[in-house]
Structure 1
Amino acid sequence: MSTNGADLDLALRLADAADAITLSRFRARDLVVERKPDRTPVTDADVAVEDAVRALLARERPQDAVLGEERGGQAGAGRAWVLDPIDGTKNFLRGVPAWATLIALVVDGKPTTGVISAPAMGRRWWAAAGTGAWTTDLNGQSRAISVSGVSDLSDAYLSTTHLGSWVEHHSREAYLRLVDACWENRAFGDFWQHCLVAEGAIDLAAEAIVNPWDVASVQILVEEAGGRFTDLTGKPTYEGGSVLTSNGVLHEPALSLLTR
């Protein structure tokens, strides 16, 4: 098995372990919820998933670095696993099924493997460099995915996470310019909107503020699906603090409106 294949196989096994924990705690009456210093929520499930994944990585890849939302760490040079145990914690704690565990392997600053597992939705997405992007549907069947062929913003479907974040960290007016230029807009939020871009179901997803663990797995998924991933300045990095994913054709026109 190639290095990419072995790493993807491990990432999928890590996601299986995470799913077992998250599903057992989803809608649990005794779910423990705390507030972090940045005022975002964290549940006992978030911490349990990250600890379990870290333990598996310590056994399977002891030389690799780990960066996680709950336990910290840093990616740096070389090989590093970037983890978000539950992306969409606010959904998770309210009983909304749109949440996922995000797992990425970054090699020398570039995501090379990514898995996004949303067990309460019955969906999973994954990609590895040079192997394309894939998903499993509700029927359990796997299929290759690719971005849309929409070529004009006036025909485009756009999503974001939370409009309020554009006020705090970028410009609501900038985002609304893009909204007005597009055919339709929604707020699917978090990981899901970027997976929809990779599937070709929507054409653009933009977020004014993200953390590395929110989008490292998204970058490899969208790029392997034939799309484009940058921060809002146009740099193709998961560490830029913001993100725009697209089918590629619409990327520059969208950036132009967001940065005007």
Structure 2
Amino acid sequence: MPTYDDDLRLAHVLADAVERLTVSRFRAEDLVVESKPDLTLVSDADRSAEELVRSQLRRTRPRDAVIGEEMEPTGHGPRQWVIDPIDGTHNFVRGVPVWATLIGLIDDGKPVLGLVAAPALGRRWWAAVGSGAWAGRSLTSATRLSVSKVSQVSDASLSCSSMTSWDAVGRQEAVLDLARDCWRERAYGDFWSYMLLAEGAVDIAAEPELNLHDMVALVPIVTEAGGRFTSLRGEDGPFGGNALATNGLLHDEVLSRIGL
């Protein structure tokens, strides 16, 4: 199995550079915010952060492809860096500190590395295949992550997106029923639900509509922590347009209840 230690060190360097930019623009009075054609928001910080990552990857990994949220894909080949410069842009532009830079790597069709940097929360999470999942401020100051061992829905903590978003896939009632049966239900939102799951604080996380750049970085962190990450149709990985992540013990039951 190939190792991705050098790529992981590079991901931290990229996150350090982006963090300096995004933190300087967070709650800035002159932040420029626009609506994209899909009615989601984008700020000047999103675009600047993605260009910063792309420019560094052009220098350090010129043979690798890059897929990002704000710009067209570049390059070809089996290795693809997948970037979400600011996951949680709506939070970012409103001054809510729950936002992060997501840096993921796909190698030969499989997500093999993920880093999630949330500077306003003072947290960073990362993983590479075969190396475990970790959280901390740096590679040398980290705690290994492990999902929970909750095995009953009645004891589980569920984090999902807004209930109204489930109308789009016709699963709102099923999700409501699941939430009623869970011990606790909250919508922590975006990347944070999945990082809490990897830490063992949440047992189930799900969203009905996601893009590739929303998920690639999350998958290795969840799976290396011992969890499972699939689409709502049960396909492993980030390629199904939606997500269900659990501690693994609950996955089949939850999938049977809210899956498509």
Alignment TM-score, normalising by the size of structure 2: 0.96
Flag as ranges the 4+ runs of structure 1 deviating above 6 A. Answer: none
- Residue identity opposite 1:152 in structure 2: Q
Corresponding residue number in structure 1 for 2:252 = 252
SS in 2 for 1:114: strand
Sequence identity percentage: 53
Deviation string 1:81-117 (CA, Å, 9 cap, x unpaired) is 0000000000000000000000001001111111000
Corresponding residue number in structure 2 for 1:227 = 227
Corresponding residue number in structure 1 for 2:172 = 172
Alpha-carbon spacing, 1:170–1:79, altered in 2? closer, same or farther (3 Å): farther
Corresponding residue number in structure 2 for 1:7 = 7
Alpha-carbon shift at residue 237 of structure 1 (Å): 2.2
Alpha-carbon shift at residue 181 of structure 1 (Å): 2.1
Contact kept? 1:75, 1:82, Cα under 8 Å = no
- Residue identity opposite 1:11 in structure 2: A
Corresponding residue number in structure 1 for 2:134 = 134
Corresponding residue number in structure 1 for 2:161 = 161
How many residue pairs match? The answer is 258
SS in 1 for 2:24: helix
Corresponding residue number in structure 1 for 2:217 = 217
Corresponding residue number in structure 1 for 2:200 = 200
Give RMSD over aligned pairs: 1.7
- Residue identity opposite 2:200 in structure 1: G
SS in 2 for 1:235: coil
Matched, 1:115 2:115: yes
Unaligned runs of 5+ in 1: none
5 Å-filtered alignment, 1:91-106, equals 91-106=91-106
Alpha-carbon shift at residue 169 of structure 1 (Å): 3.1
5 Å-filtered alignment, 1:56-75, equals 56-73=56-73
Contact kept? 1:27, 1:93, Cα under 8 Å = yes
Unaligned runs of 5+ in 2: none
Deviation string 1:37-80 (CA, Å, 9 cap, x unpaired) is 00000000000000000000000000000000000317975000
Alpha-carbon shift at residue 180 of structure 1 (Å): 1.9
SS in 1 for 2:216: helix
Deviation string 1:8-30 (CA, Å, 9 cap, x unpaired) is 00111111111111000000000
Alpha-carbon spacing, 1:153–1:74, altered in 2? closer, same or farther (3 Å): farther
Alpha-carbon shift at residue 175 of structure 1 (Å): 1.1
SS in 2 for 1:72: coil
Give distance in 2, aligned partners of 1:259 and 1:84: 26
